[in-house]
Structure 1
């Protein structure tokens, strides 16, 4: 029994040790953490690597990540994770739909991968009881300051601002940048710094590491700088009087609920886009000034993506075309609905003061005029006819009755005239025959 108990404990110990490994590899890509432990509310980095192309979603239990989704393209991409106050931080990477290998084939293994880092609480000391000198001849343990005192990136600023205790930073560089020069200095003059100098960089994400080391210890400390080089769009589309480029990634974009990443063929090229369940396609576009935003792509035409909720339904607010600004019986003006202004129309007839028209796109991408009734808060497709109240229905009924009476009178007169004409014809024929 004792032997059996020892074997059982030994097996549990082996399983526990394997559970502490912080680098987990899936068939599609691998993920590793920069540390096994992190201080409360501290930060660490997870790095994803693999010869795959596509979108990967980052899910964090017990606090947050710097990015909830990243684009990997046969390289390594790093994400900064901020820990909570206690427990463990569990980071899961889940591949998005369409993950492909270098040959463009779909990756068969789309399972996610997870790493876990322990939040280590600082040890507390009791200042009220001074320690007594030890009677042994134990040599005191040396401590070394492996912190950097400064990091400079030529032509760019670090985010966040530098602090010796912060090890993860990001930098953004303009498009066309092929190299970056990084300098750094150690807080301790005897500490060496590796990684300083000029580094080659490419479009998209680049990770540069600076490592400090003291000659009297094997311990090192690593600082990571995620360098993002502005990407160059290769596909351009016309929008109003200008051209916008389809941005090659979603860097800096907001997270859109209800949309998944997809690929769209434009001008015989594959570009990155987003699509919802109804098939509405969005493209992440960049202006010449560098400003980026999502646009609806429908029938090779762009519409700026401005989602709004009206009467519990989601629409996309559109700019009114010039040929619709002046419509008979309508006045174009701003429409206020729940403290939000929209471009639209009101009816010239004061009887329809509760009604207004809006030019909207629905979640399928269909564009219509919608009629909104303010007292009931109801929105529906506009039929092309003005909304009618009961007074208008009564007036219309009286008008129809008058039209019927007039039509009968005209018919009677027409019959009389026709009869008179026929009688005159036969009378004239009879008179001509008598001669």
Structure 2
């Protein structure tokens, strides 16, 4: 039994370890590793930069012993780890190092830009030092030594290619770079007004042998736009410069509804129609084309607007103007839409118009003035077929049912029937109770009568027996 317990305990510990290991999360950041730190001249070393849950911008990747190839200017690793490889080909025997530097911004925790510089040293050996077959023949030995010496002299020659990968200038056609340009600064911001739709980026390398990419005219979207300019040195090392252009999202087209000023939302990233029947389109508002959605199923067109409190919502758009707010909701599994109820339609006899709270939603509707119907509320909503309908909400059971004009009459008939049934039940109970009481009373009286009669007869008998004896 002890062995069984030990086995179960080991399995439990193993399972817990697996659960803990599988639930680990990696901290955001960057790290550098190498395929080897000791090689023979003529071989290459592969360096791997790991980027975890952050956006990294690589400013430079260089080696003081040999040329560098591969790599990337920027890496976007949202919620994962991505790998970038660099290959270094050493050009001389001896020590060397590879360094990669830049900035990264974590997606979790602090989102501020953080500079990093990762470096790994390595050693390059002569081919002769790696060993080989020895030859006792002095001639062969001399030739081998001479060959080794010549090879060492060849590989010890410095890489004369330029390592300069900085920019001499960087500018934009709209707005101003912040901070001001410096060759050592690799991250900039430009803020532009809402009417800007394009920008031209210009840059020039310090070294005439270096190349520059990422410049030219760029299309701008509303909100945040990120561009990267890369300067590649003659030896292949790269420095990247990031420019974030923020275009003001303030609406350019406005309209009015119920005395409120509404602006057309320009940044529609992630905004889709309320259901699959709505398709993107364009409509004209005061002679200007604006984005919209239309549904053939509902025969409705909607637009996306923002009010003075910066609250964004869909609105019905009919005959070239806004006619109502349009809010998709779901109650009791029924998809429907809240729309504004015109003031002329708010007055209904026996009902009071107000704002109802149903399933934490604010919905315009009515409550009944008659206390008999205090558990009921009335709402007027739009269905998925585009038709309007009245629904009755029962508060205690949280149920919905279509409302009809005969509801009140039916409700009163039901209540009257309940009262009638209640009265009939009361009379029946009284009758049954009276019958039971009468039956019990009769039984008691009968018992008393027969018991008295029995005693009387016994007494008379005793009297005559005594008389006869006397």
The alignment's TM-score, normalised by the length of structure 2, stands at: 0.44
Question: Which structure would you say has the larger Rg?
Answer: 2
The alignment's TM-score, normalised by the length of structure 1, stands at: 0.46
Higher helix share: 2
